[in-house]
Structure formats: structure tokens, C-alpha cells
Amino acid sequence: MSGREKPQESPSQTAGPYLHIGCTPNVAGVSGVYDEDLGVTTQTKNSSFLEIRIFDGDGNPVTDAMVELWADSISFWARAVHDEERDIYPFFVPVVAKGESGNVVSNISVWIVARGINLGLHSRIYFPENDNSSDPVLGLVEPSRQSTLLAQKHDKGYRFDIHLQGEDETVFFDV
Amino acid sequence: MNEGAIYRPRSRNWHPVCHTPKYKSSILRTPKKPLICFSSTSSEVTGPVFGHELIGQLDNDLVRNFGNTDETAIGPRIIVHGRVIDEGGNPVPNALIEIWQANAAGRYRHKNDNYIAPLDPNFGGCGRTLTAADGSYEFFTIQPGAYPWPNHENAWRPGHIHFSVFGSSFAQRLITQMYFEGDPLIPLCPIVNTIPDKRAIEQLVARLDMQRAVSMDRLAYRFDVILRGRNATPFENRPEGT
């Protein structure tokens, strides 16, 4: 050891209520700076629609957050902020039910930041078509809470509700 | 699982506490149940890669990247520069940094900001860049003003710039805020004070850098961002589920 103090990770701070300016400026109305916002997903042949909703401890919708998704096996990264018209965080995700060909992902990593969240929250989304019983990470979660990580079939796609707090609190991970 | 590619667990005494009642927005938005720990899988040690073709010529120039390109934003002209490194001291190249900030009067260009201070027609408030091979980056912007917010009576945020950083993996994903050396509002701010350790707060305070200031043109502030480092401890030595 050199005796020098090792650098420590920069501490996190909340993304605040105006994160759209920096992360999705075209949604925020700060147009003309970037051609398009990063991470916006569009429908493709092999994609499914995934709508995410976020609720606070009083059960009220959280509408000023940003959600990012990452699935390493297919290098899928996406980002969304709240869509006011549909009242959801909209994504098209490349999910194909087990047994079908194409991109099959067993789960998608999720990261949530918002006003009031001092350190970004990591979670995961699993899909009901897959046999998740041998998943090592899901196995660490007590059975009664595993369902908080399971997307629900909804319309022609999926819905995933994130409860930041309360009885149905979503499982968050220290990754 | 990627053996030997495990991130050191985040220090929960160094990062802000989650539930911080003095910062009121945190009260209903923070998990009450403990986080569940697990050793990194490939989802955590990998992340999206952004290419240089993404970055436009004025993306890191907030003084000129919005509005009338013949005019510049109003306010103290500053360079914000530094390096992105990891906890091992290694440079993090090709890290995408996205920043956003209020204008010199303390007003954000956002529909939910109704502070009486004026918008600047030539200031949007967003910028981005990729770090160079040595982890270095640079922005040209204006110094953001302090502004009031409704957390408590006479609450003011110190001038700050929001930083969103992508390192080389999803586990390193970080959003934080940069403050300015000497700002007397820093110790009064409940968002700053969600961080329990004063040394950690110091790490978010950019230093005046006269070496990089440009005479008769702009001042400079230096701000280094440190991302999580990998643990030397092999995977096998880490108890399962911790």
C-alpha cells in the first residue's frame, strides 16, 4: 500500500425534477440541441410493448422519473421518461417467449432515478413465459416478494409496476 | 458469472442515505425494505457503448448550443473540466457524460419550473460529451445561479450542474451534482446534506482552476468524477447472497 488514500466513488445526488433537460431534451422542449433523445425505443418485428408505471408510498403515480433498461445478452439499452398522454413509461423490448426463435432474454435490468431518490434504484424485470425457477438472483428473493419482479401480460404486451414503497414494495438490489 | 469482475459494494455511508426527511421528496419515494445484494452477473459488469458519432460539435458548448447560434448565453462564462476515473485510479475512456443546469438567473428551461427569474433565449441548459482515452472531458457553459425551492421556508439550492455518467458497466451508472467552491449555500442545502460524510460532499465541489482559465474570456472549474471500481476479491470468496 502506498499510504495514499484510495479514491472513493463520487457520491450520488438526486436527479431532481428537471432531469428531462439533460437526458431527454426533446421531450423537455429543449429542441434543436440533439437530433433525437437517447434510448427511445420503437416498434420492430420482434419487439413487445412494455409499459412501466411507478408509484410512491401513498400509491400516487410518480411522473417525473427516468427509467433505463439494460439486457446484456442482446446489448439492449433503453431509456424513457413519463408519457403524459398514456400515463406510462413506454418501451418496446425485444422479448420473445421461450421456445420461439429470436432474441430471448430471461430478464432485463432496470435503473430508476427521480426527484426524491438519492441513489438510483436497481431492479430487474422477469417475464411470465419463462421458467424462472432456477434463476440465481430471483432465488435470493423471498418467495412472497418474487412477484414484484414479474411483468404482467397486458394487452398485447407487458406491464411492470414499480412500487417505491409500501406493502407491494418492489424488490431493489444492491448490485 | 464473470469471475473476478465484481464491483465493490457501494459504500452506504458515503452515498446519501435513502430516507432523508429533511429532503421532503425522499419520504414517499424511498424503499423501506432492505436492498437485496448479489454478486455481479454479466448484466452488471457490462453496459451500453456510445460512439463518437453521437456527439455533435456544439454538444459540450452550452454557451452556444441553443437558440440563436450567433448569440451566446448570458452569465459568467466557465469551463468545467476534469477526468472520469474509477476507484482504482484508472481512467474511464468513452464515458458518456450528460449535464443539465439552470441558467445564470437560476431558472430551468422546463415547463414545471415557474420561478420568476427570466429564461435566457440563448440558453437551453443541456450538454453531453464522451471522455477521451485519459478519461478527460470538458464543457463550456455559464455558471448557474442559485434558486429557491419549496422544500422548506426560504430554501435555496446552491448553484449546481447535474451530471449523468455512463461508465463501462450498468453497475457504475451514476447521477450526481457538481457544486462550486466557496458557495455559502452548500452547507445549508438538505439535498447536499443527504450525504452524511463531509469528505464525500467535498468530492462534489468543483475547484477554481486558474491554470485552465482563459484570460479576458472565461474562468475554469475542475471536477473529477469517480466511478465504482472492481473488487480484487475473487468471486468464490464472497459469501453467497452478500
Of B16, B54, B112, the CB nearest to A13: B16
Q: How confident is the model at residue B5 (pLDDT cuts 50, 70, 90)?
A: low
Q: Report strand pairing: B147-149 vs B155-157.
A: antiparallel
Query: Is there a contact between B226 and A141 if contact means CB atoms under 8 Å apart?
Result: no
Between A and B, how many residue pairs show a Cβ–Cβ distance under 8 A?
240
pTM: 0.94
A106 touches chain B (CB under 8 A): no
Closest by CA to A18, choosing from B99, B28, B63, is B99
Instruction: Determine the pLDDT at residue A100.
Output: 52
User: A residues 62-81 near B, CB within 8 Å?
Assistant: 62, 64, 68, 70-73, 75, 77
Residue range B186-201: average pLDDT? Answer: 98
Q: How confident is the model at residue B6 (pLDDT cuts 50, 70, 90)?
A: confident
pLDDT digits (tens, 9 = 90+) for A46-73: 889 999 999 999 999 999 999 999 999 8
For the purposes of burial, counting CB atoms within 10 Å of the CB of B225, is it exposed (0-12), middle (13-18) or buried (19 or more)?
A: buried
Residue range B84-100: average pLDDT? Answer: 97
A37 touches chain B (CB under 8 A): no
Indicate which of A70, A79, A118 best probes the interface with B, i.e. most B CBs within 10 Å of its own CB: A118
**From the CA atom positions of chain B, what is the Rg in Å?**
19
Phi-psi region for residue B187, left (φ > 0), alpha (ψ -120 to 50) or beta? alpha
pLDDT digits (tens, 9 = 90+) for A137-169: 999 999 999 999 999 999 889 999 999 999 999
A99 touches chain B (CB under 8 A): no
Beta bridge mates, B227? B86
Contact present, A103 and A96 (Cβ < 8 Å): yes
Q: How confident is the model at residue A131 (pLDDT cuts 50, 70, 90)?
A: confident
Of A32, A64, A124, the CB nearest to B66: A32
Query: Is there a contact between A11 and B176 if contact means CB atoms under 8 Å apart?
Result: yes
- Closest chain A residue by Cα to residue B227: A9
How far apart (Å, rounded) are the C-alpha atoms in residues A158 and A146?
17
What string of DSSP letters covers chain A? --SSPPP-PPPP----TTHHHHH-HHHHT--SSSSS-TT-----TT-EEEEEEEE-TTSPBP-S-EEEEEEGGGTEEEEEE-BTTTTBEEEEE----TTSSS---SEEEEEEE-TT-SSPEEEEEE-TTS--TT-TTGGGS-HHHHGGGBPEEETTEEEEEEESSSTTPPP-EE-
Active site residues of B: 108, 147, 157, 160, 162
Phi-psi region for residue B112, left (φ > 0), alpha (ψ -120 to 50) or beta? alpha
Q: What ipTM was reported for this prediction?
A: 0.94
pLDDT digits (tens, 9 = 90+) for B9-65: 898 889 999 999 999 999 999 999 999 998 888 899 999 999 999 999 999 999 999
Residue range B57-86: average pLDDT? Answer: 96
Query: Is there a contact between A7 and B85 if contact means CB atoms under 8 Å apart?
Result: yes
